[in-house]
């Protein structure tokens, strides 16, 4: 048997839409990351971007379990002494609801140029509408169980 090498002509990128309303953040992010990586395809190759586009609507209505809404904090350091910045997830969800999903998915993708290319195929919107109707996105395929 020979290993099949995926060629650029064989790669096609579909569009999927997912409604985040009422869905748990982490479980939703893993499904999105799987689609962006292309692991749901038979031609998956870890060094190529074979994944599809994902449009997320109603990002502001994503669900957090337990006491995460009150306890989870995002950290960022400027690189200077005393430059630690903290931001509670409740405030991020209230002011910039798209960043919560983007950040959760970004942590699940490769931390290199390929991961940034995959993340560019993620489109997140706080409300129920999106401007990608021309791409005719399909509902997100169910993965796993």
pLDDT surpassing 90 at residue 48: yes
How do the domains of the chain map onto residue ranges?
14-64+97-138
pLDDT surpassing 60 at residue 144: no
pLDDT digits (tens, 9 = 90+) for 79-131: 999 999 999 999 999 999 999 999 999 999 999 999 999 999 999 999 999 99
Tell me which residue has tokens 């998915």: 105
Mean pLDDT of 29-50: 94
Q: Check residue 34 and give its pLDDT.
A: 96
pTM over 0.75: yes
Tell me which residue has tokens 């748990």: 24
- Measured from the Cβ of residue 94, the count of other Cβ atoms closer than 10 Å reads 10
pLDDT surpassing 90 at residue 136: yes
Topology (CATH level 3) of domain 14-64+97-138: Ribosomal Protein L13p; Chain: A; (3.90.1180)
For the chain, strand residue ranges (E) read 15-19, 53-57, 73-77, 84-88, 122-124, 138-139
């Amino acid at each position: 048997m020979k290993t099949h090498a995926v060629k650029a002509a064989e790669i096609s990128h579909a569009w999927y839409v997912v409604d985040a309303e009422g869905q748990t953040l982490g479980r939703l992010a893993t499904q999105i990351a799987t689609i962006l990586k292309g692991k749901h395809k038979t031609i998956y190759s870890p060094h190529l971007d074979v994944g599809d586009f994902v449009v997320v609507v109603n990002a502001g209505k994503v669900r957090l379990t337990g006491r995460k809404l009150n306890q989870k904090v995002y950290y960022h350091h400027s690189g200077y002494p005393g430059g630690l910045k903290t931001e509670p997830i409740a405030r991020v969800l209230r002011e910039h609801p798209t960043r919560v999903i983007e950040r959760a998915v970004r942590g699940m993708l490769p931390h290199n140029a390929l991961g940034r290319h995959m993340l560019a195929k993620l489109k997140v919107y706080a409300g129920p509408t999106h401007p990608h109707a021309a791409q005719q996105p399909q509902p997100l395929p169910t993965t796993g169980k």
